[in-house]
Homo-oligomer: A and B are copies of this chain.
Amino acid sequence: MNNLTLEDIARKSGVSRSTVSRVINDHPNVSKAVREHVQEVIRQTGYRPHPAARALVSNRSWTCGLILPRAIPTFFTDPYYPCLIQGISQACSKKNYTFSLFLMENEEDEEQIFSRVSRRGFMDGILFQSYQIGDALLDKLVDSGIPLVILGRPFQNRQVSYVDINNIDSVSKAVQYLLDTGHKRIGTITGPQNTAVGIDRRMGYQQALQRNKIIVNEKLIVEGTFTEESGYWGMKQLLRENPDGVFTASDQMALGAMRAIKEEGLDVPGDISVIGYDDFPMASPAHPALTTLRQPIAQFCFEALKMLISLVEDGLEPYRRVILQSEFVIRDSTRDRS
């Protein structure tokens, strides 16, 4: 264990505490000779400053928290959360931040997380995955005044900074593509309608139809939960309406939908075209390879952390927002019927 202090290094290198501190923090005004000598001593002793002492005096801990909402039914099966976690981890690593994870599973967790997190001094800021309408914790967090960035848009038009993906637009383009390639009866399996992504992706579907003067048929819309299973059952239901194309709000649901279609003896894309959303690792090795919308997760995470850091350094206001685009990736689960 490393129990050296600044003072120890100062003594060993024959300079003062202040000088060593300056060397460590790359301050100017240290002569080259002294700087190099001190660096050498630090290297040899393996000294590393005490993070808590630093945090105490500088009020920066170089740690940020990621809060994932409670009751994630898909935490184990949907790659979204692992991808997000990896993305944030990478971003933190690049920015030299330590990354603390908070999984919120019940009411008590919520209280505990709040008290753990809302006190500046251990956590420089918080990334909060938007999920359900009316998250009490989110309100408290906003009020607490800790630097906060929402991943995904918040529900109420609150005064918060956030990073989002233009779901409406992206989906609308994908459905437009189905329209342009001669599809006549396009269904959708949506995400949960109490989540922002769920609502927005459905909205994108509707906008595309409306723009083309097509009346939205409620029977061609089924609500899912992002899981493979819900895609399967949703498709079973849609099949009764004889669609020739389906947009599903996640790749997992697209996989489920394809399973249902095949089970019915129909072919993808021969009889029905399927479009997913995410472009997660299982999308391209699927049979047929899935046409989908690629979420720019890595960039998303990076922008979120960048925003958080600017909040930490420059203050909370003005509120910032960044909207990213998903990329439409055409593979083999769609066919031109025109």
| Residues of A in contact with B (beta carbons under 8 Å apart) | 1-3, 48-53, 55-56, 61, 63, 75-77, 79, 81-83, 85-86, 89-90, 93, 96, 98-103, 105, 109, 112, 115-116, 118-122, 144-146, 229, 280-282, 285
- 10 other A-B residue contacts (CB within 8 Å) besides A53-B121, A89-B101: A2-B118, A48-B119, A50-B119, A50-B122, A53-B56, A76-B83, A81-B82, A90-B105, A93-B109, A100-B100
CB distance from A299 to the nearest CB of B (A): 17
CB distance from A60 to the nearest CB of B (A): 10
Identity of the chain B residue whose Cβ is nearest the Cβ of A106 in the assembled complex: B93
Evaluate whether A121 and B51 lie within 8 angstroms (CB atoms) in the complex, with A2-B144, A77-B79, A100-B101 already known: yes
Q: How many copies does the complex hold?
A: 2
Given the complex, which residues of B lie within 8 Å of A105, measured CB to CB?
Answer: 90
Alpha-carbon gap, A47 to B14, bound state (A): 43
- Complex contact B90–A82 (CB within 8 A): no
Evaluate whether A146 and B1 lie within 8 angstroms (CB atoms) in the complex, with A75-B86, A101-B85 already known: yes
Identity of the chain B residue whose Cβ is nearest the Cβ of A281 in the assembled complex: B76
- Complex contact A144–B1 (CB within 8 A): yes
Alpha-carbon gap, A112 to B190, bound state (A): 42
CB distance from A18 to the nearest CB of B (A): 19
CB distance from A8 to the nearest CB of B (A): 14
CB distance from A99 to the nearest CB of B (A): 6
CB distance from A77 to the nearest CB of B (A): 6
CB distance from A180 to the nearest CB of B (A): 32
Identity of the chain B residue whose Cβ is nearest the Cβ of A103 in the assembled complex: B89
Alpha-carbon gap, A96 to B116, bound state (A): 9
CB distance from A231 to the nearest CB of B (A): 14
